[in-house]
Amino acid sequence: MLFTGFDFVALVIITLSLYYLQALNRWQVPILIVASLVFYAANQANLLWLLMLSVSINIISSYLVIYGRPDLSRFYASCGVVANLSILCFFKYGPLLSRTFLPADSSLADYLITLPLPIGISFFTFQGISLVVDTYRNRENTQYRSLIAKNLVQHAETVFFFKAFFPQLVAGPIVKAHFFLPQIKRKYWRDINWDKCFRQLVMGYFLKMVIADNLKDHTLLMTYPYFEAYSSLTLLGLLFGYSMQIFADFAGYSLIAMGLAGLFGYEFPINFNFPYIAVSFSDFWRRWHMSLSGFLREYLYIPMGGNRYGALRTYLNLMLTMVLGGLWHGAAWSYAIWGFAHGLALALERLIDTKFPAKPTRIGQFVHGVVVFSYVTVLWLLFKLPNFSHVIAYGQALINNIHKPNDGRVLSLIVLYSLGVIAYHIHHLIQSEVKQPVWKSWDFVGYGLMLFLVLTNSGSGGTFIYFQF
């Protein structure tokens, strides 16, 4: 069941109708839980039990941290985190580890390689870890303790809803417990911010269906062995197009999730803040997939020591955090290389800023921005081609195919469908410069045009890229 399908629209309409029905007002959370189970089962009914297991682990461990023996609260929290990570590692990284370390004819290797990858496992696992860790950290905080009901059934309902709420279940944003739990209360139709939800949904569907879904039909040429037949300029154009596509796809999903959550009275954190105008690598990671970078910083980088133990330890923590963040995206060593490359860029940037502190000029910022965007775009190749040998082959084709004729049609369509992402960022830049709304009175024209294009010029339907993570 995709956000772009009619079956999903039907699910949302039915759920909204029941959710705000006055006679069922007190059953709002159970209604959303049932809808979330239907949504997940429509995608992977055979793995619904795994979601239930994950939820159960977090129900028990978070409850025991508050209401179990106080001297064992650290033990309960540790067990909860380990159990969460064990499920993630087994199902997501079992095949990778078996291919890397086990003999090819091993029966265990054969079993691990055939393991299914549960959609959204990285997202709902990290949310479970957030719940357990936040509960442990705030176990003495009276205000937070009040969010953990003493009635186990009521607590189970809260945790189930927190982990399974369908707008963010399979691709985020990663919502932290201390952000979401205080929002769980009775909601009313009159409180919906219709203008905000409409804008988020229209922009989200436009980015996904008009830009990402059209671009994907052309970036398909980047897969092996098709790319070997194209010129160097065409291959660069395809790489640029994929950079636009992955942003439009994931930012579109996040905006749709935020708009849907708003319809039910809940708020999600912003996940993308115009990342392609970043003027440094650290700035990029403050703008791209903000819920993941925030999670990694709060639950991994800082607990490992952050920047508190000297420069060498800081660089090591940065590198390790980014490598693990890369592996979070996928069970292939190319994702670890992607994370390592970003970690290396962050470490070098930090070193240069420490040794040669300077405030860049406007021209300097522009040059930095071009360098950051180019570096980030080249590294997206590791996402598109998880097989590292194909990445090497693509690089060789970039060098060797310079004399092949360019495919003008492909390049033109990539530029055309990338204009939406470019305009999206430029509009924000202009608005941030003038410090006041730009073309505010003409907003309805822009959103009307986007809605028209969604209805008339959507690409062929496809899953969201981040569903695989």
pLDDT in tens, 242-259: 999 999 999 999 999 999
Neighbours of 369 (CB within 10 A): 18
Residue 354 has a pLDDT of 85
Q: Is the per-residue pLDDT at 260 higher than 70?
A: yes
**Mean pLDDT of all residues in 29-44:** 94
CA 102 to chain centre: 31
Confidence of residue 300 (pLDDT cuts 50, 70, 90): very high
Q: What is the rounded CA–CA span in Å between residue 58 and residue 131?
A: 7
Mean pLDDT in residue range 156-164: 95
CA 65 to chain centre: 29
Look at residue 153 in the predicted model and tell me its pLDDT.
Answer: 95
CA proximity to 204, closest of 247, 274, 267, 252: 252
What is the model's pLDDT at position 171? Answer: 82
| pLDDT tens per residue across span 380-399 | 999 899 888 999 999 999 99
How many percent of the chain have pLDDT more than 90?
73
329 is catalytic: yes
Let me know if 323 is exposed, middle or buried by CB neighbors in 10 A (0-12, 13-18, 19+): buried
> If you compute the radius of gyration of the chain from its CA atoms, what whole number of angstroms results?
23
pTM value > 0.85: yes
Average pLDDT of span 331-358 = 90
Q: Which of 290, 295, 259 is nearest to 126 (CA)?
A: 295
Residue 98, both tokens:
């078996």
Please state, in angstroms and rounded to a whole number, the distance separating the CA atoms of residues 146 and 138.
11
The catalytic residue among 218, 289, 329, 342 is 329
The answer to whether residue 78 scores a pLDDT higher than 80 is: yes
pLDDT of 172 above 90: no
**pLDDT value of residue 209:** 93
- What average pLDDT does the chain have? 91
Query: How far does the chain reach from its first CA to its final CA, in angstroms?
Result: 16
CA distance 291 to 271: 6
CA distances in angstroms from 273 to 30, 278, 283, 393, 453, listed in the order given: 33, 9, 10, 33, 24
In this predicted model, what pLDDT tens digit does every residue of 105-151 receive, in sequence order? 777 777 778 888 888 898 999 999 999 999 999 999 999 999 999 99
Angle among Cα 421, 427, 430 to the nearest 5 degrees reads: 140
